[in-house]
Structure 1
């Protein structure tokens, strides 16, 4: 009887370890795919439509806020025309950047426009934590320039499978640094 209790307890611990440790393995696999520019693995690990939509909404909101807070733009008679064109411009820009290569560059700590395959930036460090039982966030921080980088939100899809569903850009992305 004790043997079965010990086997059951070991099985529960093993399954719990796999369940709770699976996002760390998913991030490791995503980084390896980014480093190796393995587009097949990236496509399997990223929900591209969800990532695109999240970035489009973030960028549109940030641009509209910037337009409303900038007195030069706010008082410009053509600002309304510009505001109508922003969503179309952002949609095209995001669609061109949110690709396996663009995600790989961001995971390496590079800009999505950097097309040269390179190793991860040694100045970029990451921290990770559960947001909920089925959500996990990884934040990037450039310790050399002391700037926050993007954060990546993963969602559980099944018992131990995770997909990248959102890339959150830093809040100060559109602030003037003058």
Structure 2
């Protein structure tokens, strides 16, 4: 009987160690993947304007501070280039400062988050706002009914308007430190890049907390 108990102990200990190893490896794997999961969930929620989920993945006070700093720098660099040595630069600077508050207010929202994650960063233009959410589809009428003619193909519409549909940006994502995860966007070779920055809050929680308009 004692030998049977001892044998069970010998069998149980390796099994327990194996289970502990599996749990640790799974936890480390999930910890590594957690910012990618957060990015995917936030992108989906922002595109669908799921406000509660967006709020769960965005640190709005930190994002507002970052937007204010980045837009101020953006406007300052623009004024330095456009008005170097011009006495009207001070007036331009005051106008630029007046733009910062409304622009930050517009982008520190679910609409602004959706724009940031879809390659549409703030550019410091007067009256600039992120694009509104897409209109909800109407009830589907009968195909080719008199009230609703069949739509033209997307390529035909683009050619008729003389515009090509915007292409999605090139996106790269990865760690820039143990507690920082960066998503970089660029529309084409030579175009200005910008980044959305997620910061770790806890072991598995990540929140969009900053932007880098310098790329």
Q: Aligned runs of 1:1-178 on 2, under 5 Å?
A: 1-70=13-82, 73-110=83-120, 113-117=130-134, 123-143=168-188, 147-171=191-215
What is the total number of aligned residue pairs between the two structures? 166
Flag the structure with higher helix content: 1
Partner residue of 2:161? none
Partner residue of 1:176? none
Asked if the contact 1:34/1:108 (under 8 Å) is kept, the reply is: no
CA-based RMSD of the aligned residues comes to 2.3
Offset at 1:64? 1.8
SS of 1:140's equivalent in the other structure is strand
Flag the structure with higher strand content: 1
SS of 1:108's equivalent in the other structure is coil
Offset at 1:106? 2.5
> What do residues 6-34 of structure 1 show as CA deviations (whole Å, max 9, x unaligned)?
11111110111111111111011011102
Partner residue of 2:157? none
Asked if the contact 1:37/1:117 (under 8 Å) is kept, the reply is: no
Tell me, in whole angstroms, the C-alpha distance in 1 between the residues paired with 2:56 and 2:203.
16
Structure 2, gaps ≥5 residues long: 1-12, 122-128, 136-165
SS of 1:154's equivalent in the other structure is strand
